[in-house]
A and B are shown apart, each in its own frame.
Chain A
């Protein structure tokens, strides 16, 4: 079965109010082209599962697509806080359900493996546990008397991840295999949508099965979007665009500047190619492209 869709069609699979898990980590491999398409389609009331994230969450929050964020961290790392996310949480427009990284991994694993909970000592003693006593339950092992945190399943409607390559059947390759926490969200999700840098022949998977990351029964749709993680990175093809992050943060200090930035460089362009063009086109691509080794 051919699973290739245009990115517009793939984004249309996400319904308002659903729980959407975003792949990648911080500045790495975020499915940004897909996120931009969600914004263009005006999605509403999404719950985002974004374990360690920055720009993708900030875009979706800025576009008023989000009601709740389940996360361990949202920031632009050394470049500061994610401005729209920060203000939306401070003003209560968006609810943040904060967990630690491993607590989220454990909750996703519980969902993926059909278990009532996964126990861990991670997070024990912190205030994080008390924020949501029903999903991270503080318990004591009746046999050893040891305290642990019981992490209950975190169900995900749709996981969206960015990868290097796929065939039309939906076999996927992340190569080199740097998966962050993408496996956790994919395994927990009812549906998985993958954006890829390139569609490759099915025969290449048979020729090199050791390079396959996800088999086709896991994926529901594949969309080909070269440079689809921009302005985050897709190692080793390209790095994140520091200039975009700086310009975005700077624009966010003033609502009028941000509106202009948003319309001209972010949500306005009607295709991913036009979006790249609006952000410097070939010059930008050449700047972030990594030398092949």
Chain B
């Protein structure tokens, strides 16, 4: 598995595979990471990181088994097949929360949401102006609201980058990002916060002082104009030129397709009409 980095850039790959490779790169050897439900892309990224540069990555799926070794990504990221060859079962959720509420452990959380705004606040609760009469009732905050406030570094993935999913202001703050920007998050006594947004068009991060979302790289064959047009707010531009997102290597693509996710679960959240 050591040849993954020297493997040539893949020419035959799809955007889900590129997103997985970009996210995998964020999780280093020795990091402790966790994910939420319906999280095929994060799970694939953790599995890819473990098979390549981060064999000692600690992975806490949001339920059941700790440090499991599933033979492939199953249809639910909250159920038994994902716990295969775990080193322990999480007997109850309060154990999970004891691990994550402690500031020392499990510092990285990879998650998606229906809406993200320019300060990295996330919404998975309602679409519409009136919370009590929503246009769409979404699944709910679940652990998202908790994880946003307890010092985690948040890594967002968005398979459908559009003005509807990337909005100026979320309809409801299910998870705290940088709130109104600047030092708002810090003033509330919250550590951590959003680090990166990986979408099907580009990679974005946050300006160090304004905390506004800024473009870090565009995916191959995607123009800056396409990204800004698909973004519902003024995306900040870096001072230097915007590079192209590094495509996955052939080896990474092979691992994703043949070992990690032969059933193509990773493609499920893409091109969803909501």
Which residues of A pack against B, CB within 8 Å?
A: 25-28, 52, 71-75, 77-78, 81, 85-86, 89-90, 92, 96, 98-103, 105, 120-128, 131, 146-147, 176-184, 233, 235-236, 239-240, 242, 290
B interface bracket (residues with beta carbon within 8 Å of A): 35 or more
User: A122-B149, A235-B80 are contacts. A28–B63 as well, Cβ < 8 Å?
Assistant: yes
CB of A101 within 8 A of CB of B93, answer yes
Bitwise, B148-185 to A at CB < 8 A (1) or not (0) is 11100000000000000000000011111001000001
User: A102-B97, A233-B79, A239-B80 are contacts. A121–B189 as well, Cβ < 8 Å?
Assistant: yes
- Across the interface, name the chain B residue whose C-beta is closest to A129: B145
Main DSSP-derived SS at the A contact region: mixed
- Across the interface, name the chain B residue whose C-beta is closest to A92: B133
CB of A233 within 8 A of CB of B80, answer yes
User: Bound complex: CA of A242 vs CA of B79, how far in Å?
Assistant: 12
Bitwise, B83-123 to A at CB < 8 A (1) or not (0) is 00000011111100100010000000000000000000000
CB of B173 within 8 A of CB of A240, answer no
CB of A90 within 8 A of CB of B132, answer no
Inter-chain contacts of A127 with B (CB < 8 A): 125, 131, 172-174
CB of A122 within 8 A of CB of B145, answer yes
**Distance in Å from the Cβ of B244 to the closest Cβ of chain A?**
31
Inter-chain contacts of B75 with A (CB < 8 A): 78, 242
**Distance in Å from the Cβ of B86 to the closest Cβ of chain A?**
11
Inter-chain contacts of B131 with A (CB < 8 A): 127, 131
CB of B143 within 8 A of CB of A100, answer yes
User: A125-B176, A178-B64 are contacts. A101–B142 as well, Cβ < 8 Å?
Assistant: yes
CB of A126 within 8 A of CB of B174, answer yes
Inter-chain contacts of A239 with B (CB < 8 A): 79-81
CB of A78 within 8 A of CB of B40, answer yes
User: Bound complex: CA of A129 vs CA of B78, how far in Å?
Assistant: 26
User: A72-B143, A124-B149, A125-B148 are contacts. A77–B77 as well, Cβ < 8 Å?
Assistant: yes
User: A236-B80, A239-B80, A240-B79 are contacts. A81–B149 as well, Cβ < 8 Å?
Assistant: no
User: A89-B134, A92-B132 are contacts. A179–B145 as well, Cβ < 8 Å?
Assistant: no
Check if B208 is an interface residue, CB within 8 A of chain A.
Answer: no
Inter-chain contacts of A27 with B (CB < 8 A): 76, 78-79
**Distance in Å from the Cβ of B192 to the closest Cβ of chain A?**
11
User: Bound complex: CA of A67 vs CA of B184, how far in Å?
Assistant: 38
Given A105-B93, A127-B131, A180-B92, 6 more contacts at CB 8 Å?
A26-B79, A78-B38, A92-B132, A101-B93, A147-B188, A182-B92
Inter-chain contacts of A177 with B (CB < 8 A): 89, 91-92
**Top 5 A-B pairs ranked by shortest CB distance?**
A125-B176, A100-B145, A75-B139, A73-B140, A73-B142
Inter-chain contacts of A99 with B (CB < 8 A): 141, 145
Contact residues of B between 179 and 212, Cβ < 8 Å to A: 179, 185, 188-190
Inter-chain contacts of A98 with B (CB < 8 A): 125, 140-141
User: Bound complex: CA of A27 vs CA of B80, how far in Å?
Assistant: 10
Inter-chain contacts of B9 with A (CB < 8 A): none
Q: Return the contact of A179 from the options B78, B80, B91 (Cβ within 8 A).
A: B91
Inter-chain contacts of A146 with B (CB < 8 A): 189
User: A26-B37, A179-B92 are contacts. A126–B135 as well, Cβ < 8 Å?
Assistant: no
CB of B91 within 8 A of CB of A26, answer no
CB of A126 within 8 A of CB of B38, answer no
CB of A26 within 8 A of CB of B78, answer yes
Q: Return the contact of A81 from the options B138, B146, B174 (Cβ within 8 A).
A: B138
29 contacts between A and B (CB under 8 A): A71-B140, A73-B140, A74-B139, A77-B38, A78-B268, A89-B137, A92-B133, A96-B137, A100-B142, A100-B144, A100-B145, A101-B93, A103-B146, A105-B94, A105-B97, A121-B149, A121-B150, A121-B190, A122-B145, A123-B149, A124-B176, A125-B185, A126-B141, A126-B173, A147-B188, A181-B93, A181-B94, A183-B92, A239-B80
CB of B80 within 8 A of CB of A290, answer yes
Check if B242 is an interface residue, CB within 8 A of chain A.
Answer: no
Inter-chain contacts of A86 with B (CB < 8 A): 136-137
- Across the interface, name the chain A residue whose C-beta is closest to B141: A100
Q: Return the contact of B140 from the options A74, A124, A126 (Cβ within 8 A).
A: A74
